[in-house]
Amino acid sequence: MPIRIRVAVLTFFTLLAPLAAGQSQGDAGCSEPLASHLPVDPASCLRRAGVALPASARDPAARALFERAETHVASGRFDAALDALACAEAIAGDDPALRYELTRRHGILEFRRERIPQALRRFECAVSQAAARGARADEARDLKNVGAALRRLGDFQGALRALTTSLEMQRADGEVSGAVYNNLGDVYRELEDPASAMHYYREALATYRAKGGATEAAHVLESMAEQALDTGDAARAEVWLKEALETYRTEGSRLYELRVHDGLTRAALARGDVADARRWTASALAIASEGDLPVPPALQLQIARTERLSGRPDVAANRARDALAAMAERDPDRVPLLEALSAAQSDLGRHEAANDSLRLAHAEAREVWRSQSNRQLDWLRMRFETSERDRTIAALEHRNRVRTLQLWALLGSALAIALAGWLLFDRRRQRQRLDAETRRIRFEEELARYRREADALAEDRELLQTLLDSREDATCLLDAEGQVLVANRAACRLIGGDAEQLVGRSIAEVLCACEAFPPEQGLASVLESVLERMEDSATLSLDVATRQSQPLTARLTQWSGGSGRLVLELGPRVAMAAAQPQDAPADAADDVDHATGETPLDVGDGLRMEAGQDGGMLHEQGMHEQGMRDAFRKALVDLMLLSIEAWESATATNRIELAERSRIWRVNIDDGRLRARAMERYLGVSKLPRNPRWRDVLRTAYYVLGQCPTMREDVRIHLQARVDAVLAYTRRAPMV
């Protein structure tokens, strides 16, 4: 099957891709370019270095460049040493011995440049290359370098492991280097184990003396003297330092002599012999002047301390200040010099300057600590990446051994997964078809129900139209805003036009534009006022006249169906007056406002009944219904207030904007400003109409809920609860 073939091919390449990637990752650690330079031309770089390239072999030229780089490193010219190594790399080619030497010397260069993590990576690469070449002596030497780098990074346990391995390898080969013993002594000194440190220092000293390494032996004597000074044995330290000084004088190593004078001055100050310390500092300055040598920072520190203890704090301060000016920024030796400067300034009474120097010393100490921490973090990151690379290589090697079995297993799994996927897909497709069929049937049922309801509404509308057409007087059904909903034939004949033209238009607009009525000034405003008053009345009347001066009465009555619908009847004035209810009060005509034709209606009249056997019970029922009505009216006001508050909070607009956008409430202009008078009547129980348009209040709440997606959830829940409360009241017909 095509799907199975595609799955097998993809699986095969998925298996092979990590193998190739793992191979490249395994080689990446030691195959990257050694020199951080652009590609160089071998002939030109050799010509600049003054080294001739032999025609038959590259090894002599490379060895000469190695020696030149070593000389540059010893003199501190690191950039020149890097150039020499780059040139050696350009001519080394693929010679394993030269590549190994390049890696090792790059590690030494990075170590001298205080880039310890990079140096550690080079040393580890050199160890692996030496092991691949079978050169045990080189491997042991590079393990010693790895231990030295780990010690600088603070990984003393790792340093001990590397140095111990190197020592064991050298002992097995019968040739032990004194540098291994010396590095082990340094590690134990860092671990504050003076006994072990002295043991390995003595081993290193004996090894160097046995091999005739006088200078290296003198270096070990310096390390032993520093350990003695750390433990407070200044007398023994002074003996060892003097012995090392004699060796350096014999060898003519002026720079090392200065370093020994630093230790001798420190030993004299530890003994409290300031005069002896001054003698050693004077001798050191004389040696530096004769040899034109820079005074080391550590010696400058001892000179400043000696001058301060000699009672010359001004000279000590100048010495420390000059030494600081000559040093590079972030040099670790700046911290003790700044502290010495602060002490001298304090002796001079310059306490503010002393505090500044001390603060600067603390700041630079923090920078040194931060630099060391960053260096350790870099090493940890590189160590993590190396371990991850090694883990990946090991996993890939294991995967390579079982790749055939894995391939067949993956193919079988792929086929099983493909079959399971096809079954799941087919089941999902069947479920989707079933859901679609269920939705179609449900949709058809809802559509049939909507059609039945639409037919029922059409029948109701036709029945209403038929009932209104059976009346001889002109009758229209209006909504609360005065829009024509239904008009019978008599109204169409009187007003002029058919029912389709009248439906949806304002009754004020229809009457003002009707040819049967004269264009009276202010008729539209009077009609609007009458419509507004209908919320507080059951029946209102308005006297009008046709063009033939026939007196007519327009009577507005609340529709018994509720929901704010109005019935407009147009008929002769006398007939309309005779059609008033017989039980109306005799003085009802006196209560009519002739300007607007309003007749007040007391809805409580329906509760008046003759006293009888059940009078008390009916009176109690009426009081209960009146209480329910009052609660309903308060719920309507609360719902409208909360709807407006939620709208203003969610949209940052006002109630006028709500009325305009929802088109539920009419917006009027009063004294040059916009108002929604009809809406404002629903903002207080005292102003609420006697026949409230509760459906419009609910429509307003629903509009706010649907048009305010940014409404807070608690406000939305509160508003929905108010809507539910109003709906609960509306289900009680006597109350509404």
* CATH fold of 474-601: Beta-Lactamase (3.30.450)
pLDDT at 76: 74
Q: What is the pLDDT of residues 644-697, one digit of tens each?
A: 999 998 888 888 888 888 888 878 777 777 777 778 888 888 888 877 878 888
Residues with Cβ within 8 Å of residue 231, at least 6 apart in sequence: 194
In this predicted structure, the answer to whether residue 390 has a pLDDT above a threshold of 70 is: yes
Q: How far apart are CA 477 and CA 461, in angstroms?
A: 11
In this predicted structure, the answer to whether residue 127 has a pLDDT above a threshold of 60 is: yes
* Better-scored residue on pLDDT, 334 or 6: 334
Average pLDDT over residues 10-39: 43
pLDDT at 407: 84
CA dist 639 to 341, 589, 718, Å?
80, 38, 10
Mean pLDDT of all residues in the chain?
Answer: 77
How many whole angstroms from its chain centre is CA 644? 37
Of the listed ranges 381-385, 428-432, 641-645, 705-709, the least confidently predicted one is 381-385
Instruction: Provide the terminal-to-terminal Cα distance of the chain, rounded to the nearest Å.
Output: 73
Q: How far apart are CA 533 and CA 669, in angstroms?
A: 18
Model pTM above 0.75:
no
Q: What is the pLDDT of residues 725-735, one digit of tens each?
A: 888 887 765 44
The residue type at 613: Q
Of the listed ranges 137-141, 254-258, 381-385, the least confidently predicted one is 381-385
In degrees to the nearest 10, what's the CA dihedral of 391, 397, 399, 401?
-150
Average pLDDT over residues 442-448: 74
Q: What percent of the chain has pLDDT over 70?
A: 79
Residue whose entry in the numeric block shows the structure tokens 């006001």: 637
Residues with Cβ within 8 Å of residue 205, at least 6 apart in sequence: 178, 217, 220, 221, 224
Average pLDDT over residues 412-437: 89
CA dist 428 to 420, 421, 424, 433, 442, Å?
12, 10, 6, 9, 21
Query: Tokens representing 16?
Result: 């092979």
Greatest extent of the chain over all pairs of C-alpha atoms, in Å: 148
3-state secondary structure 38-78: CCCCHHHHHHHHCCCCCCCCCHHHHHHHHHHHHHHHHCCCH
Domain boundaries, the chain: 474-601, 616-730
Query: Tokens representing 565?
Result: 């619908």
Helix (H) or strand (E) holding 490: helix 489-495
Query: Tokens representing 201?
Result: 């220092």
Average pLDDT over residues 432-446: 82
With 0-12 / 13-18 / 19 or more C-beta atoms within 10 angstroms meaning exposed / middle / buried, residue 487 is: buried
Q: How far apart are CA 53 and CA 619, in angstroms?
A: 128
